[in-house]
Amino acid sequence: MSASLPSASARMSIGEVLGRLRSDFPDVSISKIRYLESEGLVEPERTAAGYRKFSRNDVERLRYILTAQKENYYPLKVIRDHLDAMDRGLEPPPAAGPDEAVARPRAPRVVLALDPSDAGRADHAALRLSRAELCESASVDESLLDQLESFGLLRTAAGGHYDATALLIATTAGELAAYGVEPRHLRSVQTSANREIDLFQQVVAPMRRQRDAGAQARADETARELATLVLRLHTTLVRAGLGRG
């Protein structure tokens, strides 16, 4: 049983980290931890005197590395690739069997299951996918992605990566394409969304101009509520129209 971890803000010495890992990894040593640091797999803070101070996330990162080595026999290159993907919000891949190829990290299932109105939530903002990862996670090809971008339905984030919103859009567009609904058919959806955005901005703009500390939070919450209500109304109208047809 591993030792319980301190609060998220607490910092531990390398000796304390060793004590927390030893019960699960008897062969781990201070030299091993320093080696993993030298390989860039973990980056503890340094005090003014040069002493290492490890966070709770550092310890969990070390635990993942040691588990991947002990149970899956992954080389450091594979582990480094996995850690890089996890830093971008992806989930680690399931352990591969002895005769199986090493799986690649994947987009979190929780993101794929999100309600559209939650796509921009802060806890999903860290998701950063490459173009190839987006295609794989959304089960779409490059051609469909090109069309979505050309019609302005999808774009990269500021850093040049694709986020949770892009994943939801690409996944939904791929599912629509299976019914013959192509990205060019969705331009009216984008136009309607832009009109709704303009309407909502008019509603929340006075809130954002208020000077008290909670103004921004109230404006954001109001915008989310408006989006939820419009989605409900839109769905109801479409279903009613199909029913009449």
pLDDT of residue 43: 93
Q: What 3-state class would DSSP assign to 139?
A: coil
Same domain for 147 and 168, yes or no, is yes
Same domain for 190 and 177: no
| Residue 169 within a domain | yes
Q: Strand, coil or helix: what is 11?
A: coil
Shared domain for 177 and 189, answered yes or no, is no
The per-residue pLDDT for 164 is: 87
Among 128, 148, 181, the domain-final residue is 181
Q: In Å, what is the CA distance from 199 to each residue of 182, 193, 221?
A: 27, 10, 15
Same domain, 226 and 161: no
Query: 66 in a domain, yes or no?
Result: yes
Start-to-end CA span in the chain (Å): 62
Tell whether 57 is covered by a domain.
yes
Domain count, the chain: 3
* Phi and psi at residue 194, to the nearest 5°: -65, -40
- Residues near 238 by beta carbon (within 8 Å), at least 6 away in sequence: none
Pick the closest to residue 24 from 64, 73, 81 (CA basis): 64
Alpha-carbon distance 104 to 70, whole Å? 19
Q: What is the CATH number of the domain that holds 147?
A: 1.10.1660
**Residue 92 in domain:** no
pLDDT of residue 1: 46
Query: Could you report the average pLDDT of every consecutive run of 10 residues in the chain (245 residues)?
Result: 55 93 94 94 92 92 91 87 84 63 61 53 68 89 95 89 90 92 92 91 91 88 90 90 84
What's the token pair of residue 109? 């299932």
Q: Specify if 65 maps to a domain.
A: yes
- C-beta pairs of 46-54 under 8 Å, 24+ apart in sequence: 51/13, 52/13, 52/14, 53/11, 53/12, 53/13, 54/11, 54/12, 54/13, 54/14, 54/16, 54/17
pLDDT of residue 109: 54
Quick one: 113 and 165 in the same domain?
Answer: yes
Quickly tell me which residue has 């991947």 as its tokens.
68
Tell me the pTM. Answer: 0.62
Same domain flag for 177 and 197 = no
Range of the domain at 34: 14-87
Distances (CA, A) of 112 to 13, 116, 128, 189: 38, 10, 14, 20
Q: How far apart are CA 130 and CA 39, in angstroms?
A: 24
Residue 9 lies in a domain: no
Q: Using CA atoms in the order 94, 95, 97, 103, what is the torsion angle rounded to 10 degrees?
A: 60
Same domain for 136 and 196, yes or no, is no
Q: What is the pLDDT of residue 71?
A: 85
pLDDT of residue 82: 87
Q: Say whether both 174 and 197 belong to one domain.
A: no
Query: How far apart are alpha carbons 223 and 198 in whole angstroms?
Result: 11
pLDDT value at residue 110: 46
Q: Of 87, 119, 144, which closes a domain? A: 87
4 in a domain, yes or no? no
